[in-house]
Structure 1
Amino acid sequence: MSLRSLAQLHAGLALYGVSIALMVRANLGMDSWDVLHQGLARHTGLPLGWVINGVGVLVLLAWVVLRQRPGYGTIANVALVGIAAEGALKVIPQLDLLPTRWGALATAIAVNAVATGLYIGAGLGPGPRDGLMTGLAARGYSIRRVRTLIELTVLTAGWLLGGTVGLGTLLYALTIGPLVHRLIPLFTLSKGNDHASPQRHPRQHATQPSGRLRRALVHAGRD
């Protein structure tokens, strides 16, 4: 676990939280998971950041059934994304003008894609939602079917709870996959970049994503 991989992981998680806040302020629709987060926040009265972290913990419980093993990046994802999102929401003001909101949405999608490439590319463990999807896919199910089922289930639940669904939801769904498909390989650290050998750092070697996991995450296009 090198300083470079740690820095990249934390930068990615912080940017991911910022992208969530930008989508909230744009108010043009959230991605599926954040529709659920927003709906739960409205019904429980809890801050959005707390809900994001809480849902992450619940999803991690499903990893036990799927026999997935979290890495440091998995725990950091649960702990930091919600905090970053809540902090960004306190800084980013409400947006009223439609062109400004569309600009915020476009920025949110771009930042989200970069953030995903950074934290997955760090190779320190996938986020809880990534692990849920790839864990199911590893049991022999089609990644396309698994992703579609998860996205539709989460989106429907979030919509029923009052989460914001709009054109931004569709735009995110259509663009985030191709974007992260290009960005994950760009930001993926090689063993040489980590300046560590598996013999000296067996724990880091164990948390490096397998080829199957990396391919699944690229096709999934989600944190």
Structure 2
Amino acid sequence: MFLSIKNIPKVNWSSNESLNFKPKFSTSFFLIFGLTIFGLGEGLLILSTTGNSPWSVLAEGISLNSNLSIGAATFVVSVGVLFLWIFLKQKPGLGTIFNIIVIAAMIDFTLNYFQPPSSLFIKYLLAVLSVILVGFGSGIYLVANLGPGPRDGLMTGLTKTTNLPIALVRAFLEITVVIIGWYLGGTVGVGTLIFAFGIGPCVALGLFLVGKIFN
């Protein structure tokens, strides 16, 4: 069962080293493809207006209180989180850099070129689809093994520094950014809950499918 998966699979296009700055073409292609799917999913969840993912709640809140688009705010948040890596002795990889750029760009692309649905049923269907896309995109980009995204690196860095369980650290981060984003005006709703409870199984499914398809 995909829910029991504990390790990120290695396939023929996975990088052997996460700090590889000269990966083969196939590794780079799947990294960018996975991040594009991830960013599309994040954008569609915002477009559904049912509630954003925790970090998009924060980005939307910042956007509403500045001249930044949600994608640009996502970029700024990602760079800010990456800055915290210095104190946690984390090292960014090529995947970290592309994570910041591609996801932010895809969120703005999605919001600019797609129209929000009018039907309530379609809105929630879109919310579910978006979480599946984020999970599948995560599976592809993680298998590329070119470094974690800024938020994942913050999570693992804090876990090593505090020696607290990873689940507790992740929950603390997600709850903190939701509260700050909600205070700034970001959208919190059922879609946020769908993401919170659905993203774990969807990432596991993404990893499972990528491992099965390419092995």
Check the 8 A contact 2:136/2:205 in 1, yes or no: no
User: Within 5 Å, which residues of 2 pair with 1:53-92?
Assistant: 53-92=75-114
User: Within 5 Å, which residues of 2 pair with 1:4-83?
Assistant: 4-83=26-105
Residues in 2 aligned to 1:188 and 1:128: alpha-carbon distance in whole angstroms: 24
CA positional deviation for 1:186: 4.1
Corresponding residue for residue 156 of structure 1: 179
Name the aligned partner's letter for residue 6 of structure 1: S
Residues in 2 aligned to 1:183 and 1:138: alpha-carbon distance in whole angstroms: 26
Q: 2:189 aligns with which of 166, 179, 203?
A: 166
Corresponding residue for residue 182 of structure 1: 205
Check the 8 A contact 2:43/2:111 in 1, yes or no: yes
Corresponding residue for residue 5 of structure 2: none
TM-score by length of 2: 0.84
Residues in 2 aligned to 1:91 and 1:39: alpha-carbon distance in whole angstroms: 21
CA positional deviation for 1:87: 1.0
Check the 8 A contact 1:63/1:69 in 2, yes or no: yes
- Report the identity percentage: 35
Residues in 2 aligned to 1:32 and 1:174: alpha-carbon distance in whole angstroms: 12
CA positional deviation for 1:115: 0.7
CA positional deviation for 1:184: 2.5
Q: Structure 1, residues 169-208: CA drift from partner, whole Å, max 9, x if none?
A: 111111111221232254369xx98xxxxxxxxxxxxxxx
Secondary structure at the residue paired with 1:30?
A: coil
Check the 8 A contact 2:127/2:194 in 1, yes or no: no
Secondary structure at the residue paired with 1:44?
A: coil
Alignment gaps of 5+ in structure 1: 194-223
How many residues of Structure 1 are paired with residues of Structure 2 in the alignment?
Answer: 191
Check the 8 A contact 2:92/2:147 in 1, yes or no: yes
Structure 1: 4+ residue segments shifted above 2 A: 181-189
CA positional deviation for 1:97: 1.1
Corresponding residue for residue 144 of structure 2: 122
Shifted more, 107-116 versus 94-103: the winner is 94-103
Name the aligned partner's letter for residue 145 of structure 1: L
Residues in 2 aligned to 1:40 and 1:128: alpha-carbon distance in whole angstroms: 18
CA positional deviation for 1:108: 0.5
TM-score by length of 1: 0.81
Residues in 1 aligned to 2:50 and 2:205: alpha-carbon distance in whole angstroms: 25
Residues in 2 aligned to 1:138 and 1:33: alpha-carbon distance in whole angstroms: 22
Q: Structure 1, residues 133-183: CA drift from partner, whole Å, max 9, x if none?
A: 011112222101101110111110011001100011111111111221232
Name the aligned partner's letter for residue 36 of structure 2: A
Shifted more, 88-97 versus 61-70: the winner is 88-97
Check the 8 A contact 1:120/1:188 in 2, yes or no: no
Name the aligned partner's letter for residue 7 of structure 1: F
